[in-house]
Structure 1
Amino acid sequence: MRTLTLELLWYKSLTSSVFRFFLEAVRVLEVARFSQSTLYLYMETNPNPNPNPPPVRSKMLRQSSLAPEGEENAAEAEAELEAEAIDSRLRLMYLANEGDLEGIKELLNSGTDVNFQDIDKRTALHLAACQGSTDVVQLLIDHKAVVDAKDRWGSTPLADAVYYKNHGVIKLLEKHGAKPPMAPMHVQNAREVPEYEIDPSELDFSNSVDLTKGTFRIASWRGIKVAVKTLGEEVFSDDDKVEAFRDELALLQKMRHPNVVQFLGAVTQSSPMMIVTEYLPKGDFCSYLKRKRSLKPIVAVKFALDIARGMNYLHEHKPEAIIHRDLEPSNLLRDDSGHLKVADFGVSKQLKFANTVKENRPITSQDASWRYVAPEVYKNEEYDTKVDVFSFALILQEMIEGCPPFSTKPENEVPKLYVSNERPPFRAPNKNYAHGLKELIQECWRDEPFKRPTFRQIIVRLDDINNQLAQNRRWKIGDINCFRNLEAFMKRNLLYQLEVRKLSVAGFCCAKSLQLDAFPVMSDLNDSKAECR
C-alpha cells in the first residue's frame, strides 16, 4: 500500500513538472504571438541531438531592410515543425528583438554565440538595430558582435537602423566602425560622383514625419526642410534598371518649372539610396479636395491650369518627353502661394526612340492608382503622353463634383469600367461647370488616345474659360458696385432730406419763439404811443 502511495506521489510530481513545463512553453509562444513575432525552428526530431544543429530562422516583428516584401520560402512552409524545445540561439534572437537585457546577458554568459546567424543569415545585432534598442546593441557589441554582418539580402545592422530611422543606433554602430553598404550606383573615382550627390550625413531625420502615402519623409538639409524619398533595392535589381535610374536623375537635375516640384539632389553612393526634393508644407491636393469637396469653377480652372502647365513642360521636354503615368491628386502638391506642382515621378517613362512605350508586365495597384489610370495602361497596351491627359480629365471633374471618380465602386473595378467606355457621371448642377469645361473633360477622357487633346491645346482652352470667368466676375463686381453706389447715393439723399427737415422744423420753432417773445414789446410800444397822444 505504501509503495503504491509513493508511486502515485511520484507520478503526480512528474505530471506536475511536465504540466508546468508545458504551461511555460505555451506562455512563451503566446508572448511571441502577442508581439507578432513568429518563431521558426528547423531541427531534426532526433533523440540524439546533432552536435552541429541545422540553421534556425527567426522571423521577427521587423525584417531586413532589403528583404522583398511578402517573400516566403516554399521550403519554409513545408519544413515548419513544432519546436519541442527552444534553442538558446533562437532565444537570443527573440530576446534581442524584445530588448530583454538581462535575458541576453544570461545567454551570452552561458556561451551562446553572439554572432549566430539564422537561415537568412541575420544576427541578433540585426534585430536589435531594427528595433532601435541602443542598450542591446551596445551589449552585443561589447560581446564582440560583428557590426558589418550581412544577411542573405546584403543588409547590415547599420542599413537596417537607417531604414527604420533609429538614429541612436546609427550613431552607435558608426562609432564602432560600421560602414554604410555600397550602393548599386557607387563609383570608385571621386571625380565620377555626380553633381547632384548629397552626403547622407547632412540629412537630419530627428523630427522626421511621413508624407504622401508614406513614401516621403521630412528632413532638414543645410538649414532648410526637404522631402526625402527612400528607394527600395527592388528598383536596382539589374544593371538596366540602375542605368535607367541614373538617366532619370540626370534628367531631373535639369528640370526647372514653377509647376513641377524641384529636384535638389540624391544619395546614390551609399545605401539606402534617396531622392531629395523641395518640401511643400501645404501638403498634397488629395487632402485639400477632401477638406474642400466641390470647388468653385474659377478656383478649379486655376488649379487645372497649374497641372496642365506642369504636364505640358514634361511632355514637351527635349530631347525626351516624360510621361508621368501616375497623375493623381496625391501626386500634386501645393506651394506657399496655393499653386499646384506636379510631383513623384516614381513610375515615369521617357520617350526616347519611339512615340509609345509598353510595360514589361501588367501594372498593379502598387504601381499606380487604378482610379485614375487610362484604359490602355490597364490593358497593358502601348501608350503615350495621352495617358496623362486621361488622368487629368478625371482630376478636373473631381474638383467640380467633389468626389473621386466612381467613388462608390471598389478601386480594382474602376479600370474595368474605363475599358468598357464608361465614365464618371456628371451630377453637379450645370452652373458649376463653366462654359466649355464639361466638353473639355469629355474630350480628354476619350477612349481613343489620339483623339484626346495635348496639354498645349488644353492650356489654350482653359485660358479662354478662365478669361470668360474673370470677365463675368468683373461684370458681377461692377453690378454690385453700381448698386452699392446707388444705395450710398440714396442714403446720402435721404440724410440730406432729413437734415433739411430738421432745419425747417428748427427754424419754424425758432420763429415761433421769437414771435411770442416779441408780443409784450409790441404791447408796450402801443401803450407808449397812446400816452403820447
Structure 2
Amino acid sequence: MSGEGGTSESSGSGTSSPAATSKGGAAAEKKQKQKQKARVSRTSLILWHAHQNDAVAVRKLLEEERSLVHARDYDNRTPLHVASLHGWIDVSKCLLEFGADVNAQDRWKNTPLADAEGAKKHIMIELLRSYGGLSYGQNGSHFEPKPVPPPLPKKCDWEIDPLELDFSNSNIIGKGSFGEIVQACWRGTPVAVKRILPSLSDDRLVIQDFRHEVNLLMKLRHPNIVQFLGAVTEKKPLMLITEYLRGGDLHQYLKEKGSLNPSTAINFALDIARGMAYLHNEPNVIIHRDLKPRNVLLVNSNADHLKVGDFGLSKLIRVQNSHDVYRMTGETGSYRYMAPEVFKHRKYDKKVDVFSFAMILYEMLEGEPPFANYEAYEAAKYVAEGQRPVFRVKNIPELKELTEQCWDHNMSQRPSFLEILKRLEKI
C-alpha cells in the first residue's frame, strides 16, 4: 500500500511514478521562479547602483555576473544610459570595461551619448565618443519634453528667503534621486522642505520639474491636499516648502498597525477620495500618477485626518472633453500600485489614480501590500497580465466589490472619485 506522495518501487524499473514526476515538475518550476525573481532583483540592483554613482557596488555585481552589464529596465534603458545621463564617469568606465554596448538604444531610440548630450554632461560626451558612441533619438526624450522650463508666476507672495529657514534641529524625512525632504522650521512653524541637490540645481530638466511642481502646488487649496507654503527659486539649493504633517505616511502606519478595521479603512478612504475628487475636477484635471501609501500623509499621531501629497509626477491637463485620453509616457509612478495601461505604455486617463486607490484600499483592509511576496516590478507585470490580489478578509462584501470595480482592467469601467465618495458614504 502506498502512502501519500509515495509508491512501491518496481524492481528493475527506472521509471518515476506520476506523483513523483508531478512533484519534480513543481519543484523545478518553483526553482525556476526563484531564479527568475533573483534575476529581476539583481537587474534592479545594478540599475540602482548605477543611478547612485556607486562604482564599487557596480563592479562587484559585474564580477559576480558579467551579463548584468546588459541589464535593461522597463524602458529598455541600460546601466550605461543611467550613468551617462547623470554624468557618473567612474561608473561608466567600469561598465564599458565590462563590455557595455555604447550604442544600446532605449525605447525612444536614445543611446547613452544622446542622454549625455541632452543633460550637457561634457566629460561624459567625450568619454562615450572615445568608445565609438553615436547619437540617435531625441536628446533627453525619456523625459516628457518641454522646450523651456515654464515661467514662474509672480513670486512676491510665496518666494521665501532661505535665511528664514532654520535647519538647526532638522532631520531627513525622505530621500529621492534629485534631493531630500527635511523637517525644518520657518518663522517658528515646523515645515517640510524638499531640497534639490546643489549639484542638480543647474540641470535644465530638474529645474523644469521643480518649476512644474511649484506651478501646480500653488494652485491647490483643499483640506485633503498637503498645503504649499512657498519656495526658494532665486538661490541655491532650490527648495519647495509645504506644511509638515506629524503623523508620518500611511505606508509606515500600515507597517506598524497591519490591517485596519473596516470603519477606519472607510474613513481613510474617504479622505483620500475627497482629495482626489478635488484634483480630478474639470476643466483642469490633475492626474497624480503616483498615488501610493507613502504619498498619503497623516495629519497627526491620532490618525484622524489624511492628506494626499507629493505632486512631483502629477500632470495638469486642460480637459477639452471629459473622456479625453492623454498621450503620456508609461513609466510614471510606482510599480506596485501602477495601473496596467501605464505599465504597458498605453494611452491612459485620470482613472489610473482610481486603480492606485483600489490597491491602497486593498492594503488597508488586508494589512499588507498587494502581491507582497513579489518584487514590485514582478507584481506590476502580473497585474498587467490580468491578475489581482486575493482578498482573505471576510465580512466586507461592499468594500471588496468597490475595490474590484476600481481595479477593473478596462479603465472606462472604473468609477470616478465622486462616485467612489457616494459609495463609501453609503457603506
Partner of 1:218: 183
Q: Which amino acid is 1:334 matched to? A: L
Residues 1:200 and 2:166 are matched in the alignment: no
Amino acid corresponding to residue 297 of structure 2 in structure 1: L
Could you tell me whether the CA contact under 8 Å between 1:186 and 1:270 is conserved in 2?
no
Shift of 1:269: 0.9
Per the alignment, residue 298 of structure 2 pairs with 334
Contact 2:260-2:364 within 8 A present in 1 as well = yes
Which amino acid in structure 1 is aligned with residue 326 of structure 2? V
| Match status 1:322 vs 2:286 | yes
1:462 paired residue among 409, 424, 427: 424
2 CA distance for matches of 1:197 and 1:372?
34
SS in 1 for 2:168: coil
Describe the shift of the 1:37–1:388 C-alpha distance in structure 2 as closer, same or farther (beyond 3 A): closer
Q: Which runs of 5+ in 1 are unaligned?
A: 1-35, 39-66, 81-150, 154-183, 466-533
Unpaired runs of 5+ in structure 2?
A: 1-53, 57-83, 98-120, 124-148
Q: How well do the aligned residues superpose, as a CA RMSD in angstroms?
A: 3.1
The one of 65, 69, 72 equivalent to 2:89 is: 72
CA positional deviation for 1:356: 3.0
More helix, by proportion: 1
SS of the residue corresponding to residue 209 of structure 1 reads strand
User: Does the CA-based 8 Å contact 2:251-2:293 persist in structure 1?
Assistant: yes
Task: Specify whether residues 70 and 446 from structure 1 end up closer, same or farther in structure 2 by C-alpha distance, changes over 3 A only.
Answer: farther
Distance in 1, matches of 2:355 and 2:256, equals: 24
- Give the Cα separation in 2 of the matches to 1:340 and 1:405: 21
Structure 2 equivalent of residue 357 of structure 1: 326
**What is the aligned counterpart of 1:452 among 400, 414, 423?**
414
Once the two structures are aligned, what percentage of the paired residues are identical?
Answer: 47
Structure possessing the higher relative contact order (Cα contacts under 8 Å, 6 or more residues apart): 2
* CA pair 70-394 structure 1, distance change in 2 beyond 3 A: farther
Matching residue of 1:343: 309
Q: Deviations for 1:304-351, whole angstroms, at most 9, x for unmatched residues?
A: 0010001111111x5421011110001111013521100101111111
Residue identity in the other structure for 2:293: P
Residues 308, 186 of structure 1: CA spacing in aligned structure 2 closer, same or farther, 3 A cutoff? closer
Aligned to 1:286: 251
Equivalent residue pairs, number: 290
What are the Cα deviations for residues 243-271 of structure 1, in whole angstroms up to 9, with x where unaligned? 67545423322311111111101111122
SS in 1 for 2:349: coil
Please identify, of 219-228 and 368-377, the stretch whose mean Cα deviation from structure 2 is larger: 368-377
Aligned with 1:441 (options 397, 403, 415): 403
Q: What does the per-residue CA deviation read over 1:140-186, in whole Å, with 9 as the maximum and x for residues that have no partner?
A: xxxxxxxxxxx989xxxxxxxxxxxxxxxxxxxxxxxxxxxxxx899
Q: 1:288 to 1:326 in 2, by over 3 A?
A: same
Q: How does 1:11-160 map to 2 (within 5 A)?
A: 69=86, 71-72=88-89, 76=93
Question: How far, CA to CA, are the matches of 2:376 and 2:159 in structure 1?
Answer: 38
Amino acid corresponding to residue 359 of structure 1 in structure 2: M
The alpha carbon displacement at 1:393 in A equals 0.4
Cα gap change, 1:385 to 1:194, in 2 (>3 Å): farther
Please say if residues 257 and 313 of structure 1, whose CA atoms lie closer than 8 Å, have aligned partners that are also in contact. Answer: yes
Encode CA deviations 1:27-52: one digit per residue, 9 max, x unaligned. xxxxxxxxx999xxxxxxxxxxxxxx
SS at match of 1:406: coil
How far does residue 192 in structure 1 lie from its aligned partner after superposition? Answer: 5.3
Q: Deviations over 1:215-237 (max 9, x none)?
A: 31101111011001123576874
Assess if the C-alpha contact under 8 Å between 2:275 and 2:307 holds in 1: yes
SS, match of residue 387 in structure 2? coil
- For residues 175 and 401 of structure 2, the distance between their equivalents in structure 1, rounded to whole angstroms, comes to 32
Structure-2 separation of matches of 1:37 and 1:359: 33
Q: Indicate the SS of the match to 2:424.
A: helix
Opposite residue 217 of structure 1, the aligned amino acid is V
Q: Distance in 1 between matches of 2:186 and 2:283?
A: 32
One of 373, 378, 390 as aligned partner of 1:425: 390
